[in-house]
Amino acid sequence: MKSKILVTGGVGFVGRALCQKVASQDFDLMVAVRVESPSIQSGSNVCIPSLDEQTDWSLALFEVDAVIHLAARVHLMHEVSKDPLTAFRKTNVLGTLNLARQAAAAGVRRFVFISSVKVNGEETHSLRPFCENDLPAPQDPYAVSKWEAEQGLRAIAADTGMEVVIIRPPLVYGPGVRANFSALLRAVSIGLPLPLGAIQNQRSLIALDNLVDFIVTCTTHANAANQTFLISDGEDLSTPELICRIAHALNKKPHLFSMPIWSLNAFARLLGKRNALQRLSGNLQVDISKARSFLDWVPPISVDEGLRRTVAVPQNP
């Protein structure tokens, strides 16, 4: 009999690719969606209108062996809530823990939770990458909610025996990527001169296909039970190097020039883009040696292949 997997957030950027991967392997797939979704080509849909402490998951959890929980209130560039932390907690903490308790009561064997590297912090220093044993340092409401959900899930695992796996990915890129990475792709594609040549940073990223492969590995691998993993492509890049790699994937020439960092900071302050500049100029590295040693996991594709697959799909304007 096939194992049955419930995926939440199955119509999102990561969720669509994950559902395709799960459906292509020897699993029965159940996808929790807010409305019936024709975009899910395989598996069964079950409508879950909300994700909070009141949600009834009984229909979705019937005979499910593992849950992969992607659904969340995501980090917003332009927050509209007057009380962001309460809004994030409602979905990401209370909603997650409600699902996990019902999953444990329904006999679910394993619960895979997609958290965020932001639980560790916003940047690394002295070329020392984040690792799983670091003291968490979440700095915004989204990251705080993910950290609180992690703690609640560990308590549920201890109380019920349901296995919990926590994955903290950095920035994910791939076909259909949005937000800042998409903007960078468009800038390189149209040949926009970028004043970032002097930046000397190191950042970990993860290709969508690599993340999906790791999630599926954590759903089945015995050694993943009750573990937390930081994950990436295994090759860190500076921002100028990333731009050059994107240009190569696009068969374009990169247009980079150098401005002193103090000038970039001054312009960023004037334009209200300090956070965006920090993401382009700061360090954020993760150590994936635990994933390699515990699970014998190797990223299936390289950064260059991940970028090639990303630019092969037209970007949304």
Q: Which sequence positions are flagged as catalytic? A: 142
**Residue 155 is encoded by which pair of tokens?**
């308590």
Contacts of 49-55 with CB under 8 Å at 24 or more apart are 50/95, 51/8, 51/91, 51/95, 51/96, 51/99, 52/90, 52/91, 52/94, 52/95, 52/98, 53/90, 53/94, 53/95, 53/97, 53/98, 54/98, 55/95, 55/98, 55/99
Looking at residue 43, what DSSP letter applies? S
The amino acid sitting at 37 is: S
* Structure-token match 């705080």, residue found: 144
Among 85, 108, 60, smallest CA distance to 100 is for 108
- Beta-sheet pairing, 163-168 with 228-230: parallel
Residue 279's nearest CA partner among 264, 260, 289 is 264
The CA-atom distances, in angstroms, between 217 and each of 21, 111, 222 are 11, 13, 9
Look at phi and psi of residue 194 and say left if phi exceeds 0, alpha if psi is from -120 to 50, else beta: beta
In angstroms, the CA 278 to CA 260 distance is 14
33, amino acid identity: V
State the chain's maximal CA–CA distance in angstroms.
Answer: 62
